[in-house]
Structure 1
Amino acid sequence: MRPLTRRFALASLPFALLGSSLALANDVNLPRTMAWTAYGTNSSGYAQAVAIGNMLQSNYGTSVRVLPGDNDVSRMTPLKQGRVDLCACGIASYYGAEGVMMFAHPDWGPQPIRLITTSTASFGLSLAVAGDLEVETPADLRGKRIAYIRGDDALNKGTEAYLAFGGLTWDDVERVDYPGYGRSFDGIIAGNVDASFTTTVTPPAQQLASSPRGISWPVLDPNDADGWERMAAVAPYFQPHRITSGAGGVSADNPVDSASYPYPIVVGNADLDEKVAYGLIRALQDNYDDYKDNAPGAVGYALEYQDLQWVIPFHDAVVGYYEEIGVWTDEMQAHQEQLVERQNLLLTTWEVFVSDAPSEEEAFRNAWMEARATALRDAGFDPIFE
């Protein structure tokens, strides 16, 4: 497991070095038009994409068309087909890079995705627990009734990761199935279940907080190395995060040590034009003040919030930018090369697998996950998903 202080330590660099990107020899060279996919029009991800688009239009004459998508398929398909340049996606982008969950399907498989940038805001992603249970840490969830959302792999994986932090699995709790995310919160309020995974600022969490049961958020001790290692084994995309906004009175004056992962996660394909990838990351950093206050969560694109050793490989041109401003280290490069090697192995394994794969969908998925795990283990990688 990587150290808990995984995010880039901006404060350790000289001010002159941080400003050096303004004097780079390479000019920003963006196309006249770009197309992105994003979450729905009422989402913070969509609002951020629009704010960035306005900045690009004002400063570089680049028009950005943002296509809203209600689910992972509608956001990822245009990227897969090359009909958009970028996706302001959620954690499904990581599942796509790994070829798991919805991507363990004949129409998908591992995707050659490359990271451009991410936003990490003040909220967290956590299990919302009924406040009348006096749950202080994930270990206190033993024997509690935990919501399982049918058809939502990302939420259930988050729950599993929190349980793992506390040394628990689904076998240590009472699983209660729900057909949808909102219904699970109705269940908590009604006293039929005790916890469900969410963001700390979502309306259902606010509703729970104002109900007779109230709300609590399990504390994840940033110094509990064993707990973080267990969590990373289940969902390595989680990062230690002190949340300063959330239901139940969470604020800068009343923070909670918890976990999060970036949202949105701005990705393109590996073959995205290098000038576009470089131009975008430089424009985002050089003109940060022009958009950071124009959409909820947009402050999260600051250089100090970028995790340069995360779970998706960066686009080569983005690596080049970080090298030029002097923040890219040998350790980061080694991590990047390992991620690229892993992804190339998955792509090769998929090509071989689909040439003689079962036709029935469930059999296909099971066989692929087995072939995937075997190939990764043989090459010294942790399959993570099985």
Structure 2
Amino acid sequence: MSQNRVFVIGVGMTKFEKPGAVEWDYPDMARTAGIKALDDAGIAYNEVEQAYAGYVYGESTSGQRAIYELGMTGIPIVNVNNNCSTGSAALFLAAQAIRGGLADCTLALGFEKMQPGSLGSTYDDREQPMMRHLLALAELQEFALPPAPYMFGAAGREHMEKYGTTAEQFAKIGVKNHRHSQNNPYAQFQDEYTLEEVLNSKEIYSPLTKLQCSPTSDGAGAAILASEKFVDDHGLGRYAVEIVGQAMVTDLSSTFDAQSALTLVGADMTRTAARKVYEQAGIGPDEVDVIELHDCFSSNELITYEALGLCAEGEGGKLVDNDDTTYGGRWVVNPSGGLISKGHPLGATGLAQCAELTWQLRGKADKRQVADAKIALQHNIGLGGAVVVTAYRPAER
């Protein structure tokens, strides 16, 4: 089946902030990110034909209320919620509309206004979406609260037991991402920490300490996508970035059948999506230059190295020790600071990743710039579950 090419022509985001630190509401965040993306593309909102609004915590049709800040033209606006992969799910749907020839210009916009502290449930009178995962994991490792660090910490423990990975290797990922965020004006945190400071920060769920965990955050991100015809008609080829591969994968039978904490936090979903994307793009992981991946916890970054094929299973710790995932290494992973230091407003995370990689491929990432970046890879996961992996390349180079 023939598919239309899809291009990112404009991106924008707010600075990510600690919940309550700034007097704003989600329409304010959405307006800021959306106007930045439209201005970046050099188009008016009335040229957008469809919009996809991602958020996790909010009322029904919050997407309309947010996007109405940009205009009210009667276009379809779809509200999207896919847990922590919500932003990239909105991106996937916006790209799919163009890929299928249903539109020439679409908007993906994600935002979140969060409560301080660990994530909790909103409704207690019905089955929790993660209950099956949590019950399966509790059979492998004793249950603990809060659920998110328990799940990813348990996966880290399993990796340590199976492959000899160390707490120091996980902590080094926290050191790296906090160091990277120093050069990102959009990051919630911009402080550097030593390995000892990361290891000695408050333990959340061993081996994870506070400085290896992503914070709750407020913020928004946006991307304008377009068809090849739209790019040509508007003369945008010089700045456009093409989506050359994209896949969304939900839980597989192996998620539960493998009886592994690694699969319960999505390793097989990521592995399956990555293979599809590499095939679509005609590339291998060694050809990728810069990566934004879902480091909600340092353990997940290391697990994801392996699932994306950057190394063999069990060898993620070697990449860390060899500095293979920072400047001067084989890849630069999370130049933005990642979720750990940039922040994690759930609905905005995937679109902030898209923005960072677009800037990197345009050569406009300032002090964060990865030298001569030609191919970028994005990974965004939400438990319960869905993962979106996307590959990008400049339209013209």
The TM-score, its normalising length taken from structure 1, stands at 0.28
Structure whose residues are more often helix by fraction? 1
Higher RCO structure (Cα 8 Å, ≥6 apart): 2
